[in-house]
A and B are shown apart, each in its own frame.
Chain A
Amino acid sequence: MDIYDIIFYLFAAVTVLSAFFVVTTRNIVHAAFYLLFTFFGVTAIYVLLGADFVAIVQLIVYVGGILILMIFGVMITNKITEVDIKTGTVHTLPASIGLGLFTGIVGAVILGTKWQVVDAEMPQSTLSSIGNMLVNEYVLIFELLGVLLLVALIGAASMARR
């Protein structure tokens, strides 16, 4: 049990517990802030897996972009003057039973499988390799994603203004 394991257990606990509170708390703003902690925990897990660039992108895009968008959505679609930022739940009991069963099955499959693990050494910096892959092997997907993002943002802006 070295320092790596302790850090992993700490951030895994943060991630899973805050994800649990995201889906169980009744206050939407509290859920958004718990989602912030989930994203931070996932970022730490990426760092522990040696994915430094993806971790930074996760921090910038999720915390800086998507979470802000969600909080704007909460602010616009709720009457701030009346305190009505609670959300109701439906089908809680069947969902708990079904998801409990599903979690058990998936966990049993994960724990019961003999994973073929190649113990690769931790890469020093993934930035230059990812950059090379993005403009060589995956250049078509990269460009298509750029076009998709542009179209999606223009469409979202025009839809929201209507």
Chain B
Amino acid sequence: MHVTLTHFLVVSSLLFCFGIYGIVTRKNAVMVLMGIELILNASNINFIAFARFGNFGLQGQVFALFVIVLAAAEAAIALAIVLNVYKTFVNINVDEIDSLRD
């Protein structure tokens, strides 16, 4: 079966759903970050697949580059936040950090 746009979209949608699953089910904040990276990769696959199979030139690839830069900034900020949370609560389980609830 020849590879078309649909194959790439299916792969990226599977990556997206696994990323959502990781975000929803994991307790550890670093694992939640890994889920976010999976979602960003899925969106990048979509951008590049539509840039390849649509008649858009290279704009999709340029936007994929922008997404990668934003992912780098997001990972740095999020890990700094995780370190501060670890200093305050001594663990980084997102279900136990609920002191804003009451």
B3 CB–A CB distance under 8 Å? yes
Task: Looking at the assembled complex, report how far the CB atom of A20 sits from the nearest CB atom of chain B, in whole angstroms.
Answer: 6
Asked if A120 and B84 make an inter-chain contact with CB atoms under 8 angstroms apart, the answer reads no
Question: Which A residues between 53 and 71 are near B, CB-CB below 8 angstroms?
Answer: 53-54, 57-58, 61-62, 65-66, 69-70
Contacts of B64 in A (CB 8 A): 51, 54
A96 within 8 A of B: yes
Q: Contact residue range for chain A?
A: 35 or more
Q: Which secondary structure characterizes the binding site on chain A?
A: helix
B21 touches A77 (CB 8 A): no
B binding-site residues for A, Cβ under 8 Å: 1-11, 13-22, 24-31, 33-35, 37-38, 41, 44-45, 48-49, 51-55, 57-59, 61-62, 64-66, 68-77, 79-84, 86, 91-93, 95
Q: Please give 8 more A-B residue pairs, beta carbons under 8 A apart, in addition to A5-B3, A65-B75, A77-B91.
A: A9-B3, A12-B11, A16-B14, A54-B68, A66-B75, A77-B82, A87-B31, A156-B79
3 cross-chain pairs, A with B, having the tightest CB-CB distances, nearest first: A23-B22, A152-B73, A87-B28
